[in-house]
Chain A
Amino acid sequence: DTAVSQTPKYLVTQMGNDKSIKCEQNLGHDTMYWYKQDSKKFLKIMFSYNNKELIINETVPNRFSPKSPDKAHLNLHINSLELGDSAVYFCASSSNRRQNYGYTFGSGTRLTVV
């Protein structure tokens, strides 16, 4: 199946812990993203990588660190988790050559910090 897949789907952890979310796409897309969707359902961009190069870095605490080992993978590591980090995190990808198709999203990771 061609898709954007992210793991884990659910993550429950205690404040202060460090956790990672992984994302992989096999669509041959050039650009990958991390978005955060809060309880009010707003989708806000956090980071974007184009061919392993960071191109968008919104105002995000530096506890969040993305890493792209190759253009098919984009991981998100979060240090010292806080209650306010609880949200659904979506990975997405897009093609530079076919921008009219928009993004393809992964199924999301629901992070709950307790």
Chain B
Amino acid sequence: GQNIDQPTEMTATEGAIVQINCTYQTSGFNGLFWYQQHAGEAPTFLSYNVLDGLEEKGRFSSFLSRSKGYSYLLLKELQMKDSASYLCAVSSGGNKLTFGGGTRVLVKP
């Protein structure tokens, strides 16, 4: 079966750093994705990791450890517009993405 866990909610202050953890147990692994979803909108692609290590993209970075079944998304220099849900998703092959329940991040002034 597929199991993807991430915290339900996190709160942080504008300008700070927040780390969203994701652990997964899946039958097969073909990459891990992070998506951002603002309320009432579609999820949008943030990052993709298939090899161990850190991928940096501006203020957002994503880390993967395949042996530990673990990833995190790091958001730096938080801005108010970063308030959204962040979805961890694992590809187990065959173009199928399985999503976690999402982490709602609230950025306060």
Partners in one complex: yes
In the complex, which residues of chain B have a beta carbon less than 8 angstroms from the beta carbon of A99?
A: 30-31, 91, 95
A100 engages B48 (CB within 8 Å): yes
Residues of chain B at the chain A interface (Cβ within 8 Å): 30-31, 33, 35, 41-45, 48, 50, 85, 87, 89, 91, 94-99, 101-102
Q: Is A34 an interface residue (CB 8 A)?
A: no
In the complex, which residues of chain B have a beta carbon less than 8 angstroms from the beta carbon of A107?
A: 41-42
Residues of chain A at the chain B interface (Cβ within 8 Å): 31, 40-45, 48, 50, 55-56, 90, 94, 96, 99-108
In the complex, which residues of chain B have a beta carbon less than 8 angstroms from the beta carbon of A31?
A: 95
Which residue of B has the minimal Cβ distance to A50? B95
CA distance A48 to B94 in the complex (A): 10
A102 engages B35 (CB within 8 Å): yes
A103 engages B96 (CB within 8 Å): no
In the complex, which residues of chain A have a beta carbon less than 8 angstroms from the beta carbon of B35?
A: 102
A43 engages B96 (CB within 8 Å): no
In the complex, which residues of chain A have a beta carbon less than 8 angstroms from the beta carbon of B85?
A: 41
A55 engages B102 (CB within 8 Å): no
B22 to chain A, nearest CB (A): 14
CA distance A41 to B35 in the complex (A): 13
A105 engages B95 (CB within 8 Å): no
In the complex, which residues of chain A have a beta carbon less than 8 angstroms from the beta carbon of B45?
A: 101-104
